[in-house]
Each structure stands twice: as C-alpha cells, then as structure tokens.
Amino acid sequence: MENYVHGYTEKESCRLADQAKTLAELLNHDTRYPAGSRILEAGCGIGAQTVILTKNSPDAHFHAIDISQDSIDHAQKAVMAENITNVTFQGADIFDLPFQEGDFDHIFVCFVLEHLSKPLDALMYLNKVLKKGGTITVIEGDHGSFYCYPESKEAMQTVRCLIDIQAGLKGNSLIGRQLYPLINQAGFRAASVSPRMVYVDSSKPDLVDGFSKKTFIAMVEGVKEQALSLNMINEKIWNKGIKDLYRATEDDGTFCYTFFKGTAFKP
Ligand SMILES: C[S@@+](CC[C@H](N)C(=O)[O-])C[C@H]1O[C@@H](n2cnc3c(N)ncnc32)[C@H](O)[C@@H]1O
C-alpha cells in the first residue's frame, strides 16, 4: 500500500505494537466474542490487535487479513511467539475480499479507515461478508482531539503537518469524529460510538512512555522528512514543536488524545 503515511518500517512495527499494548485495556477490554464465532479482522497489520483479540476470546476463531504480505508474515510470527492458535492469516484487500456473503459472525477494524480514500466503500464491502445479525467494531483515532500542557503553537504545527500529509495521501486522520455517520451510511444499524480518551500525566509513567512518547510523538516524528521536503514547516519550527511535545511528557506536563470506538449490527 504505497499511500500508507506511516510506512512499513521496523520502527513503525514497534510503534504499532507499543500502541496496541498500551491501549489494550482502554480500547479492547470490551471486545469479546462468543465461543465458536468467526471473526474477520480487516487490516490486521503486524498482528498487534490480533494478539489481544485472540487472547480475549480464546474460543472464537479469527481470520486476519492485510494487503501487505510483509505485515502478515510479521503477524504470524507474533501469534506463534504467544502460542496463539485461534487465528488464520491471509493476504487480502478489503476492496476485493476472497469471502462469500455472510461468511463472518463479526468484523473488527482498527486504525485502517483513516488510511483509505474510500472508507465508506470499505465498510460496505465488509458489510457484505458479515452475517445478518452480526456485528462490526471499528476503532479510529482523531488527531484533532490532541492537546497538551504546556501549550505550544509549534507543537500543534507539527501535528498539523501529519494531518495534512495524511490528507494529501487521501487519508483522513480526523476520521474518529465521523465514525457514527459512516457506520450508518454503510448499512449497519444501532450504531453506538464511544469516545475513549487517553489522558496522560507523570503519575502514569507507563502511558507517558507507551502512549505519549512511543505512540503519539513517534507517529508525528515519522513525517519529519515529508513535512520539510513539502515546505509545510521550516526545520527550526519543527524542532521546537517536537521539543515542546517532549516537554509535555515531563513531570508537570500533560497529554490528551481521544480515540473513537464504534459498534453496530447488520440488520
Ligand atoms: C495503521 S495499520 C493498523 C494495523 C492494525 N489494525 C493495528 O491496529 O495495529 C493499517 C493497516 O491497514 C492495512 N491496509 C490498508 N489498506 C488495506 C486494504 N485495502 N486491505 C487490507 N488491508 C489494508 C495496511 O497494510 C496496514 O497494515
């Protein structure tokens, strides 16, 4: 997937793994599937969520797909390392799914729609392979929900670069706020979206490290070269912005970000 803003580097794999582990409780404590059910995880990446989902629902069977075969290989190793056996991996495109109508009892999609130029179409394709009465769960972030203390104009400018670069690649990092209409427009019913806020201060050192530094700042830092080469920002302002983001991870700093988790069923 050439347009993927974060790329497929080893560093990005570590970021995805840190993100999933740090946010597991907040985002997935309530993602549980009944014994015997078949779940499609679409866009599983390196399996960071897969490991959590399969452990949460050991008697369900997961089918995890991704368009990147390298990511699938990585994901396979991740589940083998944890002795997880209730998942099958397959290289596949959400827009060309190799499944029959109604093949799955449930669908799970996390941090994928934000990278797609046609997120509504993606949900409609996923809808087709879901059984009537089955559920879909969609988790997305929204970079517009970020703020920190101490406030910094330059820090916000670096985040804006990430938002604009992703938009330039036809993605939408502000998609969290749009989940409710998207899910409804895709033909699902009884959509329910719950905001999941990550609030971080120095009394939560695990979140300072796992979320503020290794998930959020790492993600912003990842677009430095693109932001500079596109003349979106000059290097002096960029460096000050990143320094200020780290400043907000110090003892008297705070960080806030909201994810959105939507669930609905197929009528
Ligand atoms: C940010 S990663 C998220 C991975 C995983 N869901 C997680 O939360 O760690 C987005 C993933 O979506 C995959 N992807 C993008 N477009 C896709 C498509 N059309 N079909 C299948 N996978 C796709 C990418 O290859 C990438 O692995």
pLDDT at 11 over 80: no
Q: Does residue 58 sit in helix, strand or coil?
A: coil
Per-residue confidence (pLDDT) for residue 3, from 0 to 100: 65
Beta bridge partners of 264: 136
On whether the 10-265 domain is CATH 3.40.50.150, my answer is yes
Residue 194: φ, ψ to 5°: -120, 125
Place of tokens 């330059």: 154
CB of 228 closer than 8 Å to CB of 238: yes
Per-residue confidence (pLDDT) for residue 185, from 0 to 100: 98
- Mean pLDDT of the region 211-215: 94
Q: Does residue 74's CB lie within 6 angstroms of at least one atom of ligand 1?
A: no
Q: Does residue 68's CB lie within 6 angstroms of at least one atom of ligand 1?
A: yes
CA 220 to ligand 1 center in whole angstroms = 18
Q: Which atom of ligand 1 is nearest to the CA of 1?
A: 25
pLDDT at 2 over 60: no
Q: State how far the alpha carbon of 80 is from the alpha carbons of 63, 74, 76, 87, 137, in Å.
A: 15, 10, 6, 10, 25
Per-residue confidence (pLDDT) for residue 236, from 0 to 100: 98
How much of the chain exceeds pLDDT 90, in percent?
A: 91
Q: Can you give the pTM of this predicted structure?
A: 0.94
CA 39 to ligand 1 center in whole angstroms = 16
Nearest CA to ligand 1 atom 17: 67
Nearest CA to ligand 1 atom 10: 112
- Mean pLDDT of the region 135-163: 98
- Mean pLDDT of the region 118-142: 98
Q: Which one of 46, 67, 116, 259 would you pick to mutate in the ligand 1 pocket, going by the greatest count of ligand atoms within 8 A of its CB?
A: 67
- Mean pLDDT of the region 177-194: 98
Confidence bin at 12 (pLDDT 50/70/90):
confident
Which amino acid is it at 140? E
Q: Does residue 126 sit in helix, strand or coil?
A: helix
Question: To 5 degrees, how large is the angle CA 38–CA 48–CA 203?
Answer: 125
Per-residue confidence (pLDDT) for residue 19, from 0 to 100: 80
Count Cβ atoms within 10 A of the Cβ of residue 128 and give its class: 0-12 exposed, 13-18 middle, 19 or more buried: middle
Q: Note the pLDDT tens digit of each residue in 189-200.
A: 999 999 999 999
C-alpha to C-alpha distance for 240 and 254, rounded to whole angstroms: 17
Lowest-pLDDT choice from 7-11, 59-63, 123-127, 209-213: 7-11
CA 234 to ligand 1 center in whole angstroms = 31
More confident residue, 2 or 181: 181
pLDDT at 7 over 80: no
Domain ranges of the chain: 10-265
Q: Note the pLDDT tens digit of each residue in 18-43.
A: 788 889 999 999 999 999 999 999 99
CB of 37 closer than 8 Å to CB of 62: no
- Mean pLDDT of the region 45-49: 95
